[in-house]
């Protein structure tokens, strides 16, 4: 079974600084996908960034980048130039195939709470 581990329960970051959120995973699959989601206090899970196991380059989406180290089975999220609106829970998740070619489920880590200080 797949497992996602986020070891940082909470972090403070100064506004305009960068922050790195750790994520390690365990899987025996050769092909897999890793996702990061943001969950504000409102509850909605907002998709941030995706990294495929065969992608040769680290994923980037605006201020979000993913430091993917396949051999170490880590997929850390870097948020650059933090803003007050970045205060939220952040979840790392892995895609697992459900049934043949159709359908995947997500296995989530426990999350990291980020608080951006002005």
Partner 1 sequence: ETGVTQSPTHLIKTRGQQVTLRCSSQSGHNTVSWYQQALGQGPQFIFQYYREEENGRGNFPPRFSGLQFPNYSSELNVNALELDDSALYLCASSYAGDGRETQYFGPGTRLLVL
In 3D space, the residue among 63, 59, 57 whose CA is nearest the CA of residue 15 turns out to be 63
Count of alpha carbons within 13 angstroms of residue 49, beta-carbon side? 21
Smallest distance from the beta carbon of 80 to partner 1, in angstroms?
A: 22
Choose the binding region for partner 1 from 17-25, 38-46, 62-70, 77-85 (rule: CB under 8 A): 38-46
Q: Is 33 in the site for partner 1 (CB under 8 A)?
A: yes
One residue of 3, 16, 105, 117 binding partner 1 per CB under 8 A: 105
Alpha-carbon gap, residue 49 to 26, rounded angstroms: 19
Q: Which of 75, 79, 82, 109 binds partner 1 (CB under 8 A)?
A: 109
Which residue is listed with tokens 């850390």? 76
């Amino acid at each position: 079974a797949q497992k996602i581990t986020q070891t940082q329960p909470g972090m403070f970051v100064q506004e305009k600084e960068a922050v790195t959120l750790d994520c390690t995973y365990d899987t025996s699959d050769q092909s897999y996908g890793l996702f990061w989601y943001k969950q504000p206090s409102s509850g909605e899970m907002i998709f941030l960034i995706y990294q495929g196991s065969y992608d040769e380059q680290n994923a980037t989406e605006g201020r979000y980048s993913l430091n993917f180290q396949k051999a170490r089975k880590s997929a850390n999220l870097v948020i650059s130039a933090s803003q007050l609106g970045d205060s939220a829970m952040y979840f790392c998740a892995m895609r697992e195939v459900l049934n043949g070619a159709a359908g995947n489920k997500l296995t989530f880590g426990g999350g990291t709470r980020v608080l951006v200080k002005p």
